[in-house]
Structure 1
Amino acid sequence: MKNQWITFFTGKVLVKVEGQGIERFINEMTRSKIAVWQVKRMGEQTFTFYLSLNDLHNFRRAVRKFGCRVTFLRGQGSPFLWKRALKNSGFLLGGISFFVMILLLSNMVWGISIKGASPQTQYEIEKQLQEMGIKKGKFQFSIPDVESIQRELSNRMNNITWVGVELKGTTYHFQVVEKNEPETAEEIGARNLVAEQKAVIKEVFVEEGMPMVEVNDHVQKGQLLVSGLIGKEDQEKKEAVSAKGVIRGEVWYITKVELPLETDFEVFSGDEKVKHYISFGKFRLPIWGWGKIDYKKSIDEQDEHKLKFLKWELPLTYTEKTVREKEDVTRKYSRKEAVITAKELARNNLKAELPEDAEVTGEKILHEQIENGKVRLNVHFKVIEDIAVGQPIIQGD
């Protein structure tokens, strides 16, 4: 008996043979290596048996030598199934189209639910999701995974403490915890304003308290700028208040920076190729993006999404693989270019440490040196900033 799977794919035919000398005819087929199986006697001169579709041509040639009547009862196997399917191609295409349509609809976003947020915060979240490409009608495999969505949304929203993201079926569920920042009046006790560091006074604005310095005065760190004790000079006991004001002074900073004259690093060339696969276990079927990638250096990024059919998760994975080309670049500076770049670097480093309202008004290179392939600078900066800090007034002062 032939292997059932092989005969299913190659096809088989049920044959009825009638006439005299059928036994000699079957023996002749055996000598001609024409395989038959499930031979049954239906009468004194009638047999039925199965014949491989591949042997049909040799069978017809052999049967001509015998005076037998041959009837082909039915064909079985994939060739005959395919032939029947082609006869009913409308139903076949309709079935395939229906399956593909349900598969696509099952992997689209049809709902976005946001809970725990005020109407204003919900509007802001929806706006951010639109910018991130998360909206109804988008395919799920073109959207980042839930961890990436949660991380990106947390970085974009400053008024939420936590956001949870969950994908259920075709709906994204967002659970939001907003920041609770009750506005409480700041209670400040009696205090003076003193200099935080050495400076030359440039602006004096006192809201409450008695100013003790004027414009162009040189002050040292800890020197009294605005007194929280107010009253007449001859008055023994003065009123203690919380001194308030802005005292802007010119402060000096020296920033040291070094910069290599020659640096090797890797950059993306801007050229990239995207491949799409449908994976089943370790087997990968490419569906878009064929051809060999011949980049000398590259980095691969893969985004995987499980495919679903209605509410069931299929053992199929859609994979989008992005291959980005990298190239080695050597950056070289002349002495003049290195000094200019180093000054800019020193300025940016200083600004990162200064308050937002501080203003850099001048700069000067104090020391310049090139050694071991590096330029080293000491840069002097003039900065105008608020130098006043509070100092509590202790009873008895």
Structure 2
Amino acid sequence: MIRSMIRYIKGYLLIRVEGYSPERFLNACSHRGIALWGLRSAGGAYEMYMALKDFRRIKALARKTGTKVRVKRRYGLPFFLHRYRKRKLFFAGAFLAAALVYVLSLFIWEIDIRGNSRRTDEALLAFLRAEDIHCGMTAGSVDCEEIARDLRAAYSDIVWVSASVQGTKLVIQVKENNHLSAKTQGNLQDAGEAGQGEEGTDLAAQEDCTILSIVTRKGTPLVHEGDQVKKGDILVSGRVDLKDDAGEVTGYRYCQAQADITGEYQMPYEDTVAREYKERTYEYDKGNIRMQEEYFLQAGSWTFTLGWLKNSYREYEYHVEERQLILGENFSLPVFIGKRTAVPCQVASESYTDSQLQQILSRRFERACRELKKKGLEITENDVKIYTEQNAACARGTLTVRGPVAGEVPTRILPDPQVADQTEREDQTNGNE
């Protein structure tokens, strides 16, 4: 590939060698280091490719070997420039296009966020905009380390962040702690400030449940298998008591409690489907219908359109196809091209039958069960039934599930026992005086 590009830039020729002994000519070229390639026989003669700079060296060889050399075709940039040497506007436009591409390569035109599941792209992009990180900023002003540091500081559930500039694309990869809820994260930050740097988390029940198993890796367990707990009860404490030889508590050590806790609980399920619905029929295939189309080119805040969407359809929908221009893999441009189409349709009111309603609710229930399994929950009992009414149908009931029931909450910080005893003695002394 690189060799072909070099040959194109320098220029090369397709020549035809004929005469009494063309083999002597080939041997002479090899002896003098003249590169030949693409050699083939052509009706008693030979055709081959040769670099432009070597063509001037073969005149003496052709006379000495009694051969005749004829140029069949010319390739490369020198011949292209010579052919269009009078078209100054063409070269000026090519130069301006190259300069424009170079200028555009100095900016960020796309922010690609990967690995996020709890946080949406829109939420993270809004945070980046608040930090003055946005499309259109210069690539040289992007501080990847600062972006990673700010994201970790703003979102406690993001445990790892990587930011890198690839061409005109800012790629941000994140890894989230899926066991932490957004509400818990805010509580953890408040607890860290209140504890003056002492960080600790408890594991609390997220549902009213029965504890089936508990394996504690870190912290102090407060419940056992078979216990009935309420939502919010502490299951494993992140506060560890420090005792002296007499067994008295002399202080506390705080840690992030870790345990595998499985519980069983009931969760309600309800889903409703209306009997009437709107049925849309699209008129794609009718020969007498001509859909209105509009092509657009959007560059930054400028939009150029070709076509017309105004129509006399009674009912219609807008269908939009859009694509961003990308050179290579990572060179995104702030240019979008696409097409908008006004698609005529007919809207009619239809009604589901009882069997159709039952099928829809059954499919939705199966999808909900699959989502529960993805979360690590096992359904042990199903008490969901379908009730059909005049205007709707409803699936109602309860599910008995088994799975993780613990969530992190901040540990309550207690005063040091020794400090508390000293304060109590001072209060008693002051009272006696």
- TM bin, normalised by shorter chain, reads 0.3 to 0.5
Structure number with greater Rg is: 1
TM-score in terms of structure 1 length: 0.43
